[in-house]
Amino acid sequence: MKTLKLLIFVPALLLMNFTAGPGLTDAERKAAADHLNMTKDKLLTAVKGLSTAQLNFKATPESWSIAECVEHITIAENMIFGMAQGAMSEEADPSKRAEIKMTDDQIVGMITDRTNKVKTQEPFEPKNTFGSYEGTLKEFKSKRSSNIDYVKKRTMI
């Protein structure tokens, strides 16, 4: 679940990586949309059919349950894509392109590598934001579909 959670952030970070230069190429747009669809399907498959007990089980008092991981992903989906969309609504500044220090592959590798675990920031912590697990899943599906549509159709130049 941790790897899946991290893979879901990659398209948003890649999308943000392109905001300082020219827009996404058709190949980049397709890759981002395909990755968003793939990770959406993986998440939904991973949680399908789980009981309430399974969704809420915590291996340790400090760890998150599956339901909390899904909520964290949904919160991050909303916040990160919101920031990316805000950045893309501004005039492109090609001079900032030089500030990008990592390739897309390096970002993917860094985010999916769990050898150095990082505690999330407070705004991304689960706190029953959507009222229930079902509400969280509904919000995730809705926002992810909206983000896929945005990536496919938005002119990002």
Q: In residues, how long is the chain?
A: 157
CA distances from 150 to 53, 54, 102, 133 (A): 35, 33, 24, 25
Amino acid symbol at 78? N
Element at 88 (helix H, strand E): helix 66-88
pTM: 0.76
pLDDT score of 12: 52
What is the residue extent of each domain of the chain? 2-153
Tens of pLDDT along 54-113?
Answer: 999 999 999 999 999 999 999 998 888 888 777 777 777 788 778 888 887 787 777 777
**Does 142 score more than 80 pLDDT?**
yes
Express each pLDDT in 27-37 by its tens digit: 888 988 998 99
Using N-to-C axis directions, what is the helix angle for 26-47 and 66-88, rounded to 10°? 160
Neighbours of 121 (CB within 10 A): 9
Residues 47, 52, 53, 56: is their CA dihedral positive or negative? Answer: positive
Give yes or no for a contact between 72 and 7, defined as CB atoms under 8 angstroms apart.
no
Burial 13-23 (b: 16+ CB within 10 A, else e): bbbbbbbbbee
Query: Does the pLDDT of residue 1 top 80, yes or no?
Result: no
Query: How far apart are alpha carbons 86 and 3 in whole angstroms?
Result: 27
Q: How confident is residue 21, by pLDDT bands cut at 50, 70 and 90?
A: very low
Residue 14 has pLDDT above 60, yes or no: no
- For 40-60, what is the mean pLDDT? 97
DSSP percent split of the chain into helix, strand, coil, nearest 5: 65, 0, 35
